[in-house]
Amino acid sequence: MIEKFKQESPDKETPEQRLVRVTITHPRYPIHYEFPSLAEDWFVTKCGKKQSKVIKSTRMLAIRCEMVTCENGSEAVVRVAAVDRDLKVVLDNFVKPSLPVIDYKTDITGVTAEDLEKETLSVADIQKKLRRFLSKGTILVGHGLHYCLQVLKVDHARVIDTSLVFNYTGAYSSRTPSLLNLCKASFLFWMRSCEWRVLLTIAFTTLPLL
C-alpha cells in the first residue's frame, strides 16, 4: 500500500494525500513506523482491493495518547482521545495499565491515580473502539504519531505526522519541531495553558497551514 502511495502522480493527489506522501517519504518514516504488527495483539487495518478509492479518501482522525511510567521502566498509555476533521471528540477514554505505575507525570498528562481507580478498559478495548473509525481510507493524524500507534499496537497505512511534515528552516534534518513550538508559531499562544484535549485539535488544525 505504501508503494502504491509513492507511485501515485503528485498531480492527481488531494491535499490530504500530499501530506500523507510528505510523511511516508520522510527519511525517518521507515525508522519510526516499523512495527511488530504480525504479533497477535496488534491490530492492522486492511486496505482491500480498491486502493485507488482508499488513496482519494479525505476522511481524517486526529489522535492523542497520554502515557505514564511503570515500575519496570516501560511506558503505558493511560488516556486516549481522538477528534474527527470537524474537530468533534469521538473518543476520550482512560486506560488501565497492566503494570503498577510509578510516575503519572500529572503535570504533563493531567492524569492521577484516582482517575484510574475504577477504570477497566485495556489497550485491546481501545483497539475495538478505534476500529469503527478506521475505515479503509481513513487518515490518522498526530504529532509523533508513531508513539501513539506503538502503545496502542495499531498499524495503519495512511498517516500524517506533523513532526515530519513541518521542519525548522535551515536546521539539520535530525531536528523536528515540538508540538508546543508549532502551536506558538501558528497560533501565538502557549499550549500549556489550554485544556489537554486541545492538544488533539492543535495537531489537526496545523495541517491547513501547509
The tens-digit pLDDT sequence of the chain (210 residues) is 555 555 555 667 788 888 898 899 988 899 999 998 888 899 998 765 556 666 777 888 989 899 999 999 999 999 999 888 887 888 999 999 999 999 999 988 888 999 998 889 999 999 999 988 887 688 999 888 999 999 999 999 899 998 888 665 555 555 666 655 555 555 444 444 444 444 445 444 444 444
Q: Which three cell numbers stand for residue 109?
A: 498528562
Report the number of distinct structural domains present in the chain. 1
Q: Return left, alpha or beta for 72; rule: phi > 0 is left, psi -120 to 50 is alpha, else beta.
A: alpha
Query: Taking the mean position of all CA atoms in its chain, how far away is CA 168?
Result: 21
| Model pLDDT, residue 159 | 92
Task: Tell me the CB-side half-sphere exposure of residue 120, using CA atoms within 13 A.
Answer: 0
Q: Which of 154, 152, 80, 82 is nearest to 119 (CA)?
A: 80
Q: Which of 205, 57, 21 is nearest to 136 (CA)?
A: 57
Q: What is the CB neighbour count within 10 angstroms for residue 22?
A: 17
Rounded Cα–Cα distance for residues 201 and 210 (Å):
16
Q: DSSP class of residue 138?
A: P
- What is the CATH number for 25? 3.30.420.10
Rounded Cα–Cα distance for residues 140 and 63 (Å):
7
Q: What is the CA radius of gyration of the chain?
A: 17
Q: Return left, alpha or beta for 17; rule: phi > 0 is left, psi -120 to 50 is alpha, else beta.
A: alpha
Domain interval for residue 17: 2-209
| Model pLDDT, residue 128 | 93
- Is residue 101 classed as helix, strand or coil in its secondary structure? strand
| Model pLDDT, residue 196 | 43
